[in-house]
Structure 1
Amino acid sequence: MATSCTQRLTLQSDSSEQNRFMEKLVAKIFSFYDEQSLTDVTFKVSNPTALIPAHRLILAAASPYFENLFNGAQGTNPVIEINDIDSDTFERLITFCYTGQTLITVNNVGDMLKAAIVLQLDDAITSCVDYLVSHINEYTIQGAYTLERETQCELFKQKIIEYETQNFVEISQSDEFLNFDFEKMQRILESDNLNITREEDAFDAIKRWFNFDVAARQEQLPLLIACLRLTQFDAEFLLTHIQPLPGCELLAFKAISWIREPAARTKINMRFTEPRGVSAANCGEKTLLAVCFELFAINPKLQQYNKAEDKWQEYASLEIDYHRYRTILKDGNLLFTGGEKTSATLNIVRSWNIRNKAWQDLPTMKQARHSHCVVELDDKIYAIGGCDGGKTLSSVERYTTYDGWQFVNSLIVGRYGARAVKLNGKIYIMGGSNDDVGLKSVECYNPHLNIWIPCADMTESPTLPGAAAHKGHVYVLGSYGDNRTVERYDPQQDTWSKICSLEVGIGSTACASLDNKLWVITGNFLPGKSCVSVYDEENDRWEQKFALPERNIHSLFVVPEALLKSNE
Structure 2
Amino acid sequence: MISRRSRQSLRGGGDGAGGGGQGGEGAAGGRPLSGSDSNTPSPGDECKYEDGQHSESVLQGLNDLRLQGHFCDVTLCVDGQNFPVHRAVLASFSPYFRAMFLSSLAESQQEHITLSGVDANMVGLLLEYAYTSRITITKNNVQNLLSASNLLEVATVREACCRFLERHIDATNCVGIHCFAEAHSCQDLTKKAKAYTLKNFSHVMGGDEWINLGVEKVVELLGTDELEVEREEQVFQAATTWLHQSQASRTPVFHKVLEYVRLPLLSPYFLVDVVESEMAVRSSPECRLLVEEARLYHLLPDRRFQLTSPRTKPRKNTNTTTVIVAVGGEDNKLVLRSVECYDPHAHSWRSLSCLPFAVSKHGLVVSGENLLYLAGGEFPDGSVTRCLWRYDPVLDEWHDLAPMESPRSELGLATLDGHIYAVGGWSGTCRLNTVEKYDPRSNSWSSVADMNLAITSPAVVACQGKLFVAGGAILEDGDGIDWAQVYNPHTNTWEELPRMMIPRSGSSAAVLHGLIYIVGGWHASTENTNKVERFDSRTNSWQLVAPMCEKRYRPGVAVVDGHLYVLGGEDGWEHFHDTIECYSPVEDKWTMVGEMLTARSWLSCAPLKIKKEIIGDLATPMS
Give the alignment's TM-score, normalised by structure 2: 0.46
Q: CA deviation at 1:515?
A: 1.0
Separation in structure 2 between the aligned mates of residue 377 and residue 197 of structure 1, nearest angstrom: 34
1:189 matched residue in structure 2: none
1:445 touches 1:452 (CA, 8 Å); kept in 2? Answer: yes
Q: For residue 472 of structure 2, what is the amino acid of its counterpart?
A: G
Separation in structure 2 between the aligned mates of residue 541 and residue 283 of structure 1, nearest angstrom: 25
1:489 matched residue in structure 2: 535
Please say if 1:456 is aligned against 2:498.
yes
CA offsets per residue over residues 12-34 of structure 1, 9 Å max, x none? Answer: xxxxxxxxxxxxxxxxxxxxxxx
2:193 matched residue in structure 1: none
1:544 matched residue in structure 2: 592
1:476 touches 1:488 (CA, 8 Å); kept in 2? Answer: yes
Distance 1:520 1:197, change over 3 A: farther
Which SS does the other structure have where 1:438 is aligned? coil
Please say if 1:428 is aligned against 2:428.
no
2:356 touches 2:398 (CA, 8 Å); kept in 1? Answer: no
2:357 matched residue in structure 1: 320
Distance 1:500 1:307, change over 3 A: closer
Q: For residue 434 of structure 1, what is the amino acid of its counterpart?
A: I
Point out where structure 2 has 5 or more consecutive residues left out of the alignment: 1-212, 219-225, 248-265, 268-303, 306-311, 316-320, 617-623
Distance 1:204 1:366, change over 3 A: closer
Q: CA deviation at 1:470?
A: 1.0
Distance 1:548 1:430, change over 3 A: same
Q: For residue 208 of structure 1, what is the amino acid of its counterpart?
A: A
1:286 touches 1:558 (CA, 8 Å); kept in 2? Answer: yes
Q: CA deviation at 1:300?
A: 2.5
Point out where structure 1 has 5 or more consecutive residues left out of the alignment: 1-172, 179-194, 217-227, 230-278
CA offsets per residue over residues 111-157 of structure 1, 9 Å max, x none? Answer: xxxxxxxxxxxxxxxxxxxxxxxxxxxxxxxxxxxxxxxxxxxxxxx
1:355 touches 1:564 (CA, 8 Å); kept in 2? Answer: no
Q: For residue 471 of structure 1, what is the amino acid of its counterpart?
A: H
1:340 matched residue in structure 2: 378
2:233 matched residue in structure 1: 202
Q: CA deviation at 1:396?
A: 0.8
Q: For residue 338 of structure 2, what is the amino acid of its counterpart?
A: K
Please say if 1:303 is aligned against 2:351.
no
2:329 touches 2:359 (CA, 8 Å); kept in 1? Answer: no
Separation in structure 1 between the aligned mates of residue 444 and residue 592 of structure 2, nearest angstrom: 43
CA offsets per residue over residues 423-471 of structure 1, 9 Å max, x none? Answer: 1111101111113342210010111111111001112222321211111
2:140 matched residue in structure 1: none
Distance 1:567 1:506, change over 3 A: closer
Distance 1:211 1:362, change over 3 A: same
Q: CA deviation at 1:204?
A: 4.3
2:512 touches 2:564 (CA, 8 Å); kept in 1? Answer: yes
Larger Rg: 2
1:290 matched residue in structure 2: 326
2:329 touches 2:360 (CA, 8 Å); kept in 1? Answer: no
Separation in structure 2 between the aligned mates of residue 432 and residue 474 of structure 1, nearest angstrom: 16
Q: For residue 563 of structure 2, what is the amino acid of its counterpart?
A: K
2:565 matched residue in structure 1: 519
Q: CA deviation at 1:374?
A: 1.2
Among the aligned pairs, what percent are the same residue?
Answer: 20
Please say if 1:366 is aligned against 2:405.
yes
Distance 1:518 1:395, change over 3 A: same
Separation in structure 1 between the aligned mates of residue 410 and residue 339 of structure 2, nearest angstrom: 20
Q: CA deviation at 1:564?
A: 5.0
1:336 touches 1:350 (CA, 8 Å); kept in 2? Answer: yes
CA offsets per residue over residues 385-429 of structure 1, 9 Å max, x none? Answer: 111122111111111123721111111212111110111111101
Q: For residue 402 of structure 1, what is the amino acid of its counterpart?
A: S
Q: For residue 291 of structure 1, what is the amino acid of its counterpart?
A: V
Q: CA deviation at 1:483?
A: 3.9
2:416 matched residue in structure 1: 377
Cα-Cα RMSD? 3.4
Q: For residue 391 of structure 1, what is the amino acid of its counterpart?
A: C
Q: For residue 199 of structure 1, what is the amino acid of its counterpart?
A: E
1:123 matched residue in structure 2: none
2:471 touches 2:483 (CA, 8 Å); kept in 1? Answer: yes
Give the alignment's TM-score, normalised by structure 1: 0.50
Which SS does the other structure have where 1:417 is aligned? coil
Separation in structure 1 between the aligned mates of residue 394 and residue 422 of structure 2, nearest angstrom: 25
1:142 matched residue in structure 2: none
2:408 touches 2:427 (CA, 8 Å); kept in 1? Answer: yes
2:437 touches 2:447 (CA, 8 Å); kept in 1? Answer: yes
Please say if 1:396 is aligned against 2:435.
yes
Q: For residue 300 of structure 1, what is the amino acid of its counterpart?
A: R
Separation in structure 1 between the aligned mates of residue 563 and residue 358 of structure 2, nearest angstrom: 35
Q: CA deviation at 1:297?
A: 6.9
Which SS does the other structure have where 1:433 is aligned? coil
Separation in structure 1 between the aligned mates of residue 465 and residue 394 of structure 2, nearest angstrom: 29
Please say if 1:476 is aligned against 2:524.
no
1:352 touches 1:360 (CA, 8 Å); kept in 2? Answer: yes
